[in-house]
Structure 1
Amino acid sequence: MMRPLYDWTIRLSDHPRALWALALVAFIESSVFPIPPDLLMIPMILARPSRAWLIALVAMVASVLGGLLGYAIGAFAFDSIGQPILESLGKGDQMAAFNEKFNDMGFWAVLGAGITPFPYKVITIMSGWTGMPMATFIVTSIIARGIRFFLIAALLWRFGSPIRDFIEKRLGLVFTAFFVLLVGGFLLVKYL
């Protein structure tokens, strides 16, 4: 099932309305779609490097707006829509325990999911379900998705095709390491 979705997403990058397709993929990826918009961004930016910043902006705005849909799913339709989505992602068992601590670390949860390979849609739904303050959710989503999409755009704009393999295979690991170091640094400062 994933391979046809992946192939469909890649084909969209050649479409004359690729920016609209990117906006759609980024929007629905934030609440239900399993393929990240990065896969559409990469060939679009490689084909037209001069549009790298516009492509990143479209992905960021659409992703944050889609995140608001995920938030609404969690807030208003968790039992009928949100819970089955989280269970299909293998996160069903952890919901109750996660809810207790989620809002205490809400900023960090949204930031982490927004820049790392962790499914952002899980955090958007959980943010609505746990009642995270919407302002915190929106601001953190803008920061996280901005970091992710603009860094990809900057790397592709600067290094072009040679960086593609790195982005597709290792950038998630780099984002995760960055996030761990960031949180670790804050914890170190707090407890030392």
Structure 2
Amino acid sequence: MDSAAEDQPGSSATQDAPEVPMLPDVLVRRGPARRLYDWMLHWAHTPYGTPALVLLSFAESSFFPIPPDVLQIALSMSRPRRAFFYATVSTLASVAGALLGWAIGYLFWEAIGGFFYKYVPGCTPENFQLVGQRYHDNAMLAIIGAAFTPIPFKVFTIAAGMFHQYVSLGTLLLASLVGRSARFFLVATFVYLFGERARELIERYFALLTFALFALLVAGFLAVKWLL
């Protein structure tokens, strides 16, 4: 009798057994880019998704090479009605990170500039000189363009500190706010309007989108040298 009761679907043993969340097995079989995408989606179902978005957006504006758009998209697709909340989080954290980039260029460059030249993509003496010339011409437009496009934003925030005679903090903050909000709210609008359809499109054309994003990232680095 006892053993039969234990086997019933409604038994307390079955009801009390906790469900352990596990990542799907496809994470083991898929390529690195797809695993990264699935891992980002996994963050969307944890209590740490929003803090991770804050940290990634902040760091990308000052020293980190990976843009926050992927995590923003993953979080927004999991909760489309909060897409504009995540866009706001990305924008504010990114603008705050721009302040750190400015401080690095203005206060700490002599001490840590060598590290950036060696390890941070896009940070070269030639690129900083090119950005400095652009700031001399029109700092507001230069920052807005870098904040909105795949051009490495950190190069511009650090250069704003290095060439502070051309870029006031007010200009940096306002231009960063305009460019970053335009970028992140465009992403939010896409996810909000298409919802699950957006996820289906990403799932179906993932390989093509991965190639396109990589091409845009490379184009952004090249643009620092050839388009400025």
**TM above 0.5:** yes
Instruction: Identify the residue that residue 132 of structure 2 maps to in structure 1.
Output: 99
Structure richer in helix, relative to its length = 1
Q: Report which of the two structures shows the higher radius of gyration computed on alpha carbons.
A: 2
- Percentage of pairs with the same residue: 35
Q: Which amino acid aligns with 1:89?
A: P
Q: How far, CA to CA, are the matches of 2:163 and 2:175 in structure 1?
A: 16
Matched, 1:134 2:166: no
Instruction: Identify the residue that residue 183 of structure 1 maps to in structure 2.
Output: none
Instruction: Identify the residue that residue 184 of structure 1 maps to in structure 2.
Output: none
Give runs of aligned pairs for residues 80-119 of structure 1, distance below 5 A: 80-82=111-113, 84-86=115-117, 88-94=120-126, 95-119=128-152
| Higher relative contact order structure (alpha carbons within 8 Å, sequence separation ≥ 6) | 1
CA contact (8 A) 1:25 1:37 kept: yes
Give runs of aligned pairs for residues 49-88 of structure 1, distance below 5 A: 49-82=80-113, 84-86=115-117, 88=120
Inter-CA distance 47–98: structure 2 relative to 1 (3 Å threshold): closer
How many equivalent pairs are there? 172
TM-score, scaled to structure 2: 0.66
Question: 1:118: how far off?
Answer: 0.6
Q: How far, CA to CA, are the matches of 2:105 and 2:57 in structure 1?
A: 18
Instruction: Identify the residue that residue 157 of structure 1 maps to in structure 2.
Output: 192
Q: How far, CA to CA, are the matches of 1:6 and 1:102 in structure 2?
A: 36
Q: How far, CA to CA, are the matches of 1:29 and 1:6 in structure 2?
A: 17
Inter-CA distance 113–86: structure 2 relative to 1 (3 Å threshold): farther
1:82-118 deviation line (CA, Å, top 9, x unaligned): 4532553244141335424423221111111100001
SS in 2 for 1:35: coil
Unaligned runs of 5+ in 2: 1-31, 220-228
The RMSD of aligned alpha carbons is 2.9
CA contact (8 A) 2:60 2:67 kept: yes
Q: Which amino acid aligns with 1:145?
A: R
Q: How far, CA to CA, are the matches of 1:130 and 1:145 in structure 2?
A: 21
1:38-81 deviation line (CA, Å, top 9, x unaligned): 01001100000111111110110000001100011011011223
Question: In the alignment, which of 41, 47, 51 is matched to residue 16 of structure 1?
Answer: 47
CA contact (8 A) 1:107 1:136 kept: yes
